[in-house]
Amino acid sequence: MERFFEKLENSLKEGTIIKMTLSKPVIKNNELRNVYIKPILLKNNKMCQFVFRYERRDETKNFDAAQTMGQVRSLVPEVFQNVSLFTLTEDVTLLVSKKGKPTFMCKPVKEQRAQDLSHDHEKQRLIDPSKPWWYLLGLTTREGKVIADMQHKFKQICKYVEIVDGVMRQTKFDDEIHIADMGAGKGYLTFALYEYLTSHYDKKIVMEGVEIRHELVQKINDIIRDCGIDTRRDAMNRISTAESTIRFVQNSIADYKPSNLDVLIALHACDTATDDAILKGIRNNAKLIICAPCCHKQIRREMEKSGKTDTMTRFGIFLERQAVMITDAVRALVLEYCGYKTQVMEFIEIDNTPKNVLLVGRKSDKPVDKESIAKQIKDLLDQYGIGEHYLWKHLFREPSLRSK
């Protein structure tokens, strides 16, 4: 045992340690599973970084040489029975049996090794905060550092891009992808997705953010112009090639008329605005429809008006939740009725709200049993005395949509 600690102390003094792992907990159900140790350079001082890996979390702490020795002695053999120490010249192993008997092994290494003293590896982000538009949008400083108050939002924006990318990669597109972001607001998500797609997809991206507020549309289009996104400036100051374009248009979801539409995105479109967005996607034969609905008021009003309740919905809070599920279930069924393969998943919204539903419809060539789907919708609405569902009703106002 002391031979091992002597090796460890010498490696710390001589600065030859590469890494060390503490494993095999004495107590099998111990929440602390492993400890990983590596040298780092922190403010020109050599330290050891400890990563305490628990069953559901990791904790990172930094210690100097003396503290490192104290930490390891307190953990071995009382907490961990196995230790693997790798230095520039040796591999050192300590194994402690169930009865407390230590086995020490030391093997010289012939290959040339190097230390990694970095303590903060560059984060692999889907979005580059140093791009000028993020400063103009108010998420970063001039130096490209994410503002402290915006850290949480920026992480959620990156998560959104990750989710949409995963959905889009399951869809086959032509050389051009036309995307409409309905109710785009301040443009965070529109810019993020455009930046990512133009950097990772070998296709022409045509992105339109649809927003009804004139001041926001003007502000975003000014940012697009100021960043030279659709000019032939140095590529380091642009998002993509000159072929790809992004712009904002002032319009409501219901009145927006795209010339081409492959992907329709509608996040946080309140109440029946989500239905208008879905109708827009169906009408334009979009290959992909992605919605995160909210404010499901229309169906709740219908349920309250009918006065028809069951064991659950007689309680107000359950009535609200059931209205949400019925609203989105019918939306999913309508998409299937119109030839879309539907997927429903949980999605963490951008404004730090609870988990919500992300409704994804992917256009399919498979035949659809419209009669069966229509019966499912009718039975569901009748069960709760719902006179009409906005999306289902408006679908039948346009014969062209019923045939899609």
Domains of the chain: 2-108 (no CATH), 132-402 (3.40.50.150)
Sign of torsion over alpha carbons 149, 155, 160, 161: positive
State which of 90-94, 240-244, 394-398 shows the largest mean pLDDT. Answer: 90-94
| 242 against 224, higher pLDDT | 224
Give the C-alpha separation, 85 to 218, whole Å: 60
Given this model, what pLDDT does residue 237 score?
Answer: 40
Has residue 355 got a pLDDT over 80?
no
Q: In the prediction, which pLDDT does 97 show? A: 93
The answer on pLDDT for 121 being more than 70 is: no
Long-range CB contacts for residues 249-257, cutoff 8 Å, separation at least 24:
249/208, 249/209, 249/210, 249/211, 249/217, 250/211, 250/212, 250/213, 250/214, 250/217, 251/210, 251/211, 251/212, 252/212, 253/182, 253/183, 253/210, 253/277, 253/280, 254/280, 256/180, 256/182, 256/210, 256/280
Provide the whole-model pTM. 0.65
For residue 347, the one-letter residue type is: F
Residue 342 burial (CB count, 10 A): 18
